[in-house]
Structure 1
Amino acid sequence: MKAKLSIVIACFNDPDVVTAVESARAQTYCNKEIIVVDDGSNLPVAGMIEELSGRVDHVILQKNLGQSIARNRGIKKGTGEYILNLDSDDFFEPTFCEKAIELMDKDPEVKIVTCKAERFNKKGSIDIYTPAGGDYINFLTSNSALGSSMFRREDWMRCAGYEETLPVLGFEDWELYLNILKEGGRAAVLNEVLFHYQVRENSTTARIKDMKHDKYQQIVLKHRDLYVQHFDILITELFAKIKKEENEKLKMSRGAEFSLGNKILAPLKYLKRKLQ
């Protein structure tokens, strides 16, 4: 029999959880279980999750403790050898799990499987994003896999799961992947658009935008020994980001100056045309 897969969907006040559950149910990989963790949702969404209970294997109710705790709790409830966390506002194409597990079965060095993703919002498609994948070096300065990627339970257990206490929350996927890969192996990227990521103004990613440097600092401090080993990479990346931010500010400043200059000159140009 094929190895079992646990698909964990953590939900907080998200009515799109219905789409996520149907995406999990539609996976062509048959030996799977679906676990929904209600992280203290409001009554309307809690009611929707209750109605979904007949279409999933487990529903876990908890007060609002955050995504990391919800995910860890869902994984602990499951029994699958493979784990896939799916955010409640996103969805996969039906063949993702089958293709990901086939790849991991063939190559034990593949510790994480991700894929190309369509980013979309309520208005429609935005763009296609391709994560870099690779070994832990690729994960030192940025997350090179999607937040919803597949990995093995044994690796999750070895790393003690998602971080729940340090202020890396919002970057917990990145930190877990770095934790998994620093012992060896790589993240493989399926060269197909098999994931659909919803961009929202009130998403966790949007809310932590102004705190991303602080959270990255916490990852560096937590994995201090690893970053000391690769000090040159860290410093090179940090200075590249500083230069990029300075160039962006300069472009904005010049753009503002150009716009202001046009406004000041507009009346003079108008008079010149009248006098000609």
Structure 2
Amino acid sequence: MTNSKSNVTAIIPCYNDGQYIMQALQSLYNQTLLPEQIIIVDDGSNAATRNVLKQIEHPGVHIVYQENKGVSHARNTAISLAKTDYILNLDADDYYEPTFIEKAVEVLNDNKQLVAVSSYCRTFKKDKTIDIIEPLGGDLKDFIVINNARASSMFRKICWEAVGGFDEKMVGGYEDWEFWIAVLKLGGTIHIIKEVLSHYRVKKFSRDQKALQNHDLELRQYIYLKHKEVYEKHLDFYVFQLLRQNSLLRNSIYKVKNSKEYNIGSLFFAPLRYLKNKVVKR
């Protein structure tokens, strides 16, 4: 294990994740280059999670307790206490591979134009792999349609200071996407390490799922209006990408509707629809 100063503070916002946070912490303890400090902000968790947090006795871990104010506020609280140049974000239910900090620090040290470093990410549920996410990173234009990085990333604290932190109004989700856009507006790029160095837990009821299912349009509108000048500057690119996504979606729907499985399903449910229509007409 490398003992040299990493210039890294790891922050962990925690809300009712007592059953997972020890795995997240252990992934930081196991790093080949250790963070200089780990700051956990408990965002108004239940008693069970607080009991777990009270059992943590590590000289490098500092725990802050606050009323529930959302993940953006929790992250901002933690980062405001950090004394290092680099910030490592880790949600309490996720974890890193042991070499992430070492590799991310090396990349940031070697390229002053980089504002953040992320990596490929494995999504999993109950230890079963669901997918491997491969974001592209890039500059501002690469982030106006989709989030091309991950929340599990390392970034420069000076960038966080320059944009005023994470937007605390975005309690419904997508706050990390908006943060990257705000940071990249000032210049620079985000680098992606093309290795699976982070692991994202998919839970039955997750904040990201709620954001996608219930608030996607609302959150996208918020980001668009907040950074409208960016979208206007790259209007042709933005419209082309939306048209491309629409075309891909229409082709996918067409393939599904013309698949053998879809046709068999339609035939199976046809009698039920017929009976339903008869009942309604009566």
TM-score calculated relative to the size of structure 1: 0.89
The letter of the residue matching 2:216 is K
1:209 corresponds in structure 2 to 212
Q: Is the 8 A contact 1:117 1:130 kept in 2?
A: yes
2:196 corresponds in structure 1 to 193
2:225 corresponds in structure 1 to 221
Question: What does 1:215-254 align with in structure 2 at a 5 Å threshold?
Answer: 215-254=219-258
1:272 corresponds in structure 2 to none
The letter of the residue matching 2:14 is C
CA distance in 2, matches of 1:123, 1:115: 20
Distance 1:262 1:203, change over 3 A: closer
CA distance in 2, matches of 1:102, 1:264: 61
CA distance in 1, matches of 2:183, 2:166: 11
Distance 1:37 1:114, change over 3 A: same
Q: SS at 1:65's partner residue?
A: coil
Report the more deviating stretch, 51-60 or 230-239. 51-60
1:34 corresponds in structure 2 to 38
Q: SS at 1:113's partner residue?
A: strand
Please report the RMSD computed on the Cα atoms of aligned residues, expressed in angstroms.
Answer: 2.0
Find the partner of 2:162 among 158, 163, 170.
Answer: 158
- State the shift of 1:263 in Å: 6.9
Distance 1:207 1:172, change over 3 A: same
List alignment gaps of at least 5 residues for structure 1.
266-276
Question: What does 1:24-63 align with in structure 2 at a 5 Å threshold?
Answer: 24-30=28-34, 32-54=36-58, 56-63=60-67
CA distance in 2, matches of 1:250, 1:217: 28
Aligned residue pairs total 264
- State the shift of 1:53 in Å: 4.3
Q: Is the 8 A contact 2:9 2:87 kept in 1?
A: yes
Q: Is the 8 A contact 1:168 1:219 kept in 2?
A: no
Q: Is the 8 A contact 1:39 1:64 kept in 2?
A: yes
- State the shift of 1:242 in Å: 3.0
2:135 corresponds in structure 1 to 131
1:84 corresponds in structure 2 to 88
Q: Is the 8 A contact 1:68 1:169 kept in 2?
A: no
* Cα deviations by residue, 1:70-129 (Å, 9 ceiling, x for unpaired): 010011112111001101111001110111011111110111101111111105122222
- State the shift of 1:141 in Å: 0.6
2:113 corresponds in structure 1 to 109
1:145 corresponds in structure 2 to 149
1:16 corresponds in structure 2 to 20
Q: Is the 8 A contact 2:11 2:39 kept in 1?
A: yes
Q: SS at 2:204's partner residue?
A: coil
CA distance in 2, matches of 1:231, 1:103: 32
Q: SS at 2:56's partner residue?
A: helix
2:274 corresponds in structure 1 to none
Q: Is the 8 A contact 1:168 1:215 kept in 2?
A: no
